[in-house]
Structures are given as C-alpha cells and as structure tokens.
Amino acid sequence: MAEPIKIAYLYEDLMNTYGDSGDVKILRFLLKQQGYDTTVTNVSLGDDFDANDYDFLFFGGGQDFEQTVVAKDLQRHRETIKDYIEAGKPMLCICGGYQFLGTYYKMSDGTVIKCLNILPLHTVFKADARMIGDTKFITQFGPAQAFENHSGRTYFDDQDKLKPFGTMIEGYGNNPDDHTEGMRYKNVIGSYSHGPLLKNLNIAEGIMKLIIQNHQERLAQRKEAVTA
C-alpha cells in the first residue's frame, strides 16, 4: 500500500480564521483525484514536530489573542521549519502564519512580538486602518480572487531575496503602498488571502504539483538510506 502524503497543519486549533482550513481540504480533494491518500496532523501547543517528516506544511491565520499564545510556543520549532524552507519544500502560510515567518510584528500599543526570524520581513499593526474586502491579483499561477481582513501591514526587508506572490488589481494586499500580495521564497508562499485562497484552482494545482514532487523525493531519499 502506497504511503499517504503527510500534511502538517500548524496550530490548526488556534490558527484557522475565515475558512483557512478549506485550503487543506481542497488540496486533499485534488490529491485524492490524483490517486494519493493524505494524512493531516495538527501540530499544536506542546507537540513534538520534525518538519522533514512531512510533505507539506500549512499555517493559517488567527485572531490577535491566539497569535500571542502561538508566538510563545512557536520558537521551539524555528530550526526545523527553517531547514524545511531552505531545502525548497512546499509551505503555504496565510495571514498570521505568513507574518510569523518574519522578524517581528509590532502591535498598535507598541508591543513587539518576536516572530521566527526566518525570512526578512516585518509587520506593523494599524488598528484604526483595517484592510478588509474582496481582492483581485495576478500570480505566477495566473489570476486570483480572495478576501482580506487584516490590520497588519507587512514589508520586505530584503527585496532581492523575497518576491511578491502577486500584483494587486483590487484591494490592499501586503500594505497600502506596495501594490503587492503576499510573498514567495523558494517554494514557500505567504498570503493575506482568505476565503480560502485555494478556491483558485490554478493556484491549488500549482501547489499540489510541488507537494507530489516533495513526496516522491522524500520517499526516494528514505529508500536510499535503507539500501545504503
């Protein structure tokens, strides 16, 4: 029996707003159509976690309180997530999950929350200027439509290393100034798109291909290790 594709949903019980879990459900459906079974593991507070045991990582968005709770637990997973990302393996991060990949986010009251400091980006909250509504943007996978609802404004600190996931047509995206949506680094995508994002099947199918490729490579590496 073929080994199923393994998905890790980071803090599913705390980071799941505006239909973000639908992204995982859509991927599971598409993978099933391609003949792949999947398992989804909720990696939550206090859980052990080795990212390289998985074929895909998903990190959704959360409310402010839940994000402060997650921030306290998340740091112990920094190295395994960083190694996974730098190895070019696929990951999708939505809203708060996207922000957590950066160096910090600064709350409206001036409180600075330490993030994973894996990628050179940061977020500043403007509670009196919430960015909410339907969005349209263009990605490498083609056009997309989604929904955004965030007070965080995200900025890249190294624009040579990080590239936007999309170019805005309607809506705000990362911030009111840059006309960009989300981030792409290697095979990691960060986005402010809820609704869920992967209702855009062109994007879902593009990510699915990355997952299948990673799955096949992981199984091949394990087979080589056994026969060596």
Report the helix count and the strand count for the chain, using DSSP H and E. Answer: 5, 14
Q: Are 56 and 90 in contact (CB under 8 A)?
A: yes
CA distance 116 to 80: 11
Give catalytic status of residue 95 as yes or no.
yes
Which of 77, 122, 150, 194 is an active site residue? 194
Give catalytic status of residue 93 as yes or no.
no
CA distance 5 to 16: 21
DSSP code, position 213: H
Which of 77, 95, 122, 150 is an active site residue? 95
Nearest to 143 by CA among 200, 191, 204: 200
Catalytic residues: 95, 194
